[in-house]
Each structure stands twice: as C-alpha cells, then as structure tokens.
C-alpha cells in the first residue's frame, strides 16, 4: 500500500489545501493529512480543532486519514510507513522554503520522497493567514474555505466588526 503524508499547520484548512489533498488521494492508496504541531507557533485553532475541521471536510474520502504529530516528519513517516510527503506550491516564494525542507528530510530519511504539486491557479493567492484576516474583520470567506467549516471559523475569528 502506497502511503503519503500531507503535512501542514492547517490553521485553518482552506480550499487550496483541500484541492491538494484530493489530488494526492487519487495518486496514493492512503493519505494521512498530518497537522504538524509547532509549540513555537501561535495558532488560532487548537490541534484538536484543526484535526476536527479537516475531518469535517475529508470524511467522504475513504483513503484519507487525519492525525497530528509533534516531532520530525521523517519519524512520523517511518511510524506509518509513508514513502512520500506531498507539498503544495503556490508561488516561487514557497519553493525556496519547501525545497530546503525536502532536502533536509531526504538527508534524514533517504527513503522519504517529497512530491510538489502546483496549486490550482484559482487558489494561488489563498493562505490560512488570509482567511484568518478576512474572517477577523467580518469578511466573506465562502470562496476560501469548504462550506462545512465556514461557521466554526467565523465564530472563532470574527471580532464583531460590522460590514
């Protein structure tokens, strides 16, 4: 069974993330969406909340699982038998960081491949940070996140700003 990881902070998951996950699910037998835990990073949603938001929008994908992990990606990959890490690229600016991480992971575990998927052009501008900023000011996030999680995001992030 070919297993791939889709790691990220997913704070919150966006339609761009979901597009990458869907595409990965067609390429691999099993995809683990991995909420990476970085204790130095301040997030809007707890790890448990992020896992639940992702499950809410991937529940219909039979070969997709969701988990969280604090530690090296290569260690988690070994634990679950993953042979690939899927990374979405929006722009050239993403590539430099992602390439550095891919090389470090390859050094730590030569068996783990990193596969870069270009983001769908309609999501190239989209990021979790952008969603958080728009939601915080009461803006419409319907085009940015899956329908099933719009309300929880709005409830968490809205600062009560009038439109």
Residue 154 assigned as binding residue: no
Residue 160 assigned as binding residue: no
Say how many C-beta atoms besides its own lie within 10 A of residue 107's C-beta. 9
- The single residue of 41, 42, 107, 163 carrying the catalytic annotation is 41
Residue 124 assigned as binding residue: yes
Residue 23 assigned as binding residue: no
Taking Cα atoms as reference points, which of 151, 139, 153 lies closest to residue 11?
A: 153
Residue 90 assigned as binding residue: yes
- Whether 162 sits among the annotated catalytic residues: the reply is no
- The single residue of 15, 17, 50, 132 carrying the catalytic annotation is 17
Residue 18 assigned as binding residue: no
Residue 55 assigned as binding residue: no
Taking Cα atoms as reference points, which of 38, 63, 55 lies closest to residue 146?
A: 55
Residue 2 assigned as binding residue: no
Residue 113 assigned as binding residue: no
- The single residue of 25, 36, 85, 128 carrying the catalytic annotation is 128
Handedness of CA 100, 106, 108, 112 (dihedral sign): positive
- The single residue of 30, 55, 90, 154 carrying the catalytic annotation is 90
Peptide bond into 68 cis (omega under 30): no
> Residue 119 in contact with residue 88, Cβ under 8 Å?
yes
Give the whole-angstrom CA distance, residue 135 versus residue 75: 35
- Whether 23 sits among the annotated catalytic residues: the reply is no
- Whether 90 sits among the annotated catalytic residues: the reply is yes
Instruction: Look up residue 61 and give its two tokens.
Output: 């994908």
Taking Cα atoms as reference points, which of 81, 87, 82 lies closest to residue 102?
A: 87
Residue 127 assigned as binding residue: yes
- For the annotated binding site for substrate, the residues are 9, 41, 73, 87
- For the annotated binding site for ATP, the residues are 9-10, 17, 88-90, 98, 123-129
Instruction: Please give the positions annotated as active site.
Output: 17, 41, 90, 128
- For the annotated binding site, the residues are 9-10, 17, 41, 73, 87-90, 98, 123-129
């Amino acid at each position: 069974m070919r297993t791939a990881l889709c790691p990220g902070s997913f704070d919150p998951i966006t339609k761009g993330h979901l597009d990458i996950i869907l595409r990965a699910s067609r390429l691999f037998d099993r995809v683990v969406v991995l909420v990476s835990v970085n204790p130095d990073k301040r997030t809007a949603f707890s790890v448990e909340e992020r896992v639940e938001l992702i499950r809410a929008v991937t529940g219909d994908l039979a070969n997709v699982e969701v988990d969280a992990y604090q530690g090296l990606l290569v260690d988690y990959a070994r634990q679950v038998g993953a042979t690939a890490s899927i990374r979405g690229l929006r722009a050239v600016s993403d590539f430099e960081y992602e390439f550095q991480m891919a090389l470090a992971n390859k050094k730590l575990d030569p068996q783990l491949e990193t596969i870069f998927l270009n983001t769908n052009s309609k999501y190239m501008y989209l990021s979790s940070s952008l969603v958080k900023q728009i939601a915080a000011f009461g803006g419409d996030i319907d085009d940015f996140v899956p329908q099933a999680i719009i309300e929880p995001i709005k409830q968490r992030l809205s600062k009560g700003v009038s439109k």
